[in-house]
Amino acid sequence: MADHMYKVIFVNQGEIYEIYARKVSQGGLFGFVEVEELAFGQNTKVVIDPSQERLEREFEGVKRVHLPMHSVVRIDEVEKPGVGRISTSTGEGNLRPFPTMFPPKGDSGGGD
């Protein structure tokens, strides 16, 4: 297969993103996955998916996306781009955001 296509699923602010891209690599930023040449599926139906429209608006004009490795759920090599989407995580199922630690509010982290 000359042209590679990848489906990338990641979690961003409690929502599950599914995007398609032609290039995926470790990239130059440590701890990030680099996603380039985003591809959006063609709308062949009369009914337009609002989550796909939102995804296209969010990534309009974006040349390259750097995703934190811990937010990436899955990367699949696929034959052709599908319909990208953003869905809200209901807390059910097997997709959960990676736990992160934040300092307590008001703590500058400098110690005594």
**Dist CA 3 CA 15 (whole Å):** 29
Would you list the domain boundaries of the chain? Answer: 5-85
The tens digit of pLDDT for each residue in 19-78 reads: 999 999 997 889 999 999 998 766 555 556 677 788 888 888 889 999 999 999 999 999
- Report pLDDT for 18: 93
Query: Tens digit of pLDDT for each residue in 69-108?
Result: 999 999 999 998 888 888 886 655 565 555 555 566 665 5
Q: What pLDDT is recorded for position 76?
A: 95
pTM above the 0.75 mark? Answer: no
CA angle, corner 89, sides to 103 and 57, nearest 5?
95
Containing 6, the helix (H) or strand (E) segment is: strand 5-12
- Strand 5-12 versus strand 15-25 pairing type: antiparallel
